[in-house]
Chain A
Amino acid sequence: MNRIGRSLRGFAAFWRDFIVGDDWRIAAGVIVALGLTAALAMTTVPTWWLMPIAVALLLASSLWRAVRASQR
């Protein structure tokens, strides 16, 4: 039972690393941005501009966090 639990935890950790990677905030931000795009698509407002802004902000903030972490 213990071995199965360890295997399952290892399997879950592998997929978390595989999909989420080094910064979970990027994955969470992408999900939120896609959700907002989908919500915007239900209105008459153009949708294409939202994702480039979201991606620029997500990347810049993730890089800044990595730089700050390297200073500590």
Chain B
Amino acid sequence: MRDFLLVLAVFVACVVESVEALTIVLAVGVTRGWHATMRGVAAGLLSLAVIVAALGPALTVIPINALRLVVGGLLLVFGLGWLRKAILRASGFKDLHDEDAIYQRQREAAEHAEHTGLFGDSYSFTLAFKGVLLEGLEVAFIVLTFGANQHNIPLACVGAVAAIVLVTGVGIAIRAPLARVPENTLKFVVGVLLTSFGMFWGVEGAGGSWPGSDAALLGIIAFILGGALAAVAWLRRVRAEQSARARVDAEPLVVGQS
């Protein structure tokens, strides 16, 4: 019975961590392409394997809060940037398809980095790499702490592997349907998710804690999504007022010409 509970506890905890990593990988892969994203995943897994192999049980001394603070802060900055652009596009203040042009300009400006980099789109690579490495480290901590407490690390590994296989399978299954969602809608959702995860990890990394622990993430996502939708509604009203005013200003000219 104790063994079953150990596997179950590790399985559930690792499902939560794997879903967090999967969300980031899917979001980045679907919106920016899979090539660099999968390289980021592979590099994250490879780094994780090297860290686990080199440190083993000493892994628990890595300052996970410092890592959460840095990763959380960066995700928050990236997420707010994505959300800002998606809100401006959804409300008509920005062209729907300007991202490709901006990205192209950045690529040209970053010629040096692109020539020396092996990873293609650095943005996708970095986000996928960080997501997989941080969540992977958390999975490793769970396996080590739960397994060491019950003197059965191999059994804890079984629970973790089962969770990762299940979540990866779900990710592969939903990849194709996700690709059919309109581009700006996806970017909007990615902005909401990156900002939410960033806020969650950032506060934990800074030494704070959320009421309800991991469950607070759902509340944070609802808060960010609600705020972003309210911002779109607000800016659409502002845009409509601007257009109405512009029409009124243009009217005498039209009458004068006829």
Contact = CB atoms under 8 A, between A and B. Distances in A.
B93 A10 contact: no
Interface string B224-254: 1001100100010010001000000000000
A60 B73 contact: no
Interface string B176-193: 000000000000000000
A51 B223 CA distance: 12
Contacts of A38: 69, 206-208
B109 A55 contact: no
B195 interface: yes
Interface in B54-81: 69, 72-74, 76-78, 80-81
B84 A59 contact: yes
Contacts of B73: 30-31, 34
Interface in B187-213: 195, 199, 202-203, 205-211
B113 interface: yes
B81 A34 contact: no
B123 A71 contact: no
Interface string A31-66: 100110110111000111011100110111011001
A22 B74 contact: no
Interface residues of B, number: 46
A30 B76 contact: yes
Nearest to A8: B112
Interface string B107-119: 0011111000000
A59 B231 CA distance: 9
Contacts of A19: 74, 77
Contacts of A60: 231
A57 to B, nearest CB: 11
Contacts of A26: 77, 80-81, 84
B86 to A, nearest CB: 11
A37 B203 contact: yes
B109 A48 contact: no
A6 to B, nearest CB: 9
Contacts of B113: 10-11, 14-15
6 contacts: A10-B112, A34-B69, A37-B206, A38-B69, A47-B207, A51-B203
Given A26-B77, A51-B202, 5 more contacts: A18-B123, A30-B77, A42-B207, A56-B227, A59-B84
Interface of B: 69, 72-74, 76-78, 80-81, 83-85, 87-88, 93-94, 106, 109-113, 122-123, 126, 195, 199, 202-203, 205-211, 216, 220, 223-224, 227-228, 231, 235, 238, 242
The 6 A-B residue pairs with the shortest CB-CB distance in the complex, in nearest-first order: A47-B208, A41-B207, A14-B110, A21-B81, A38-B206, A37-B206
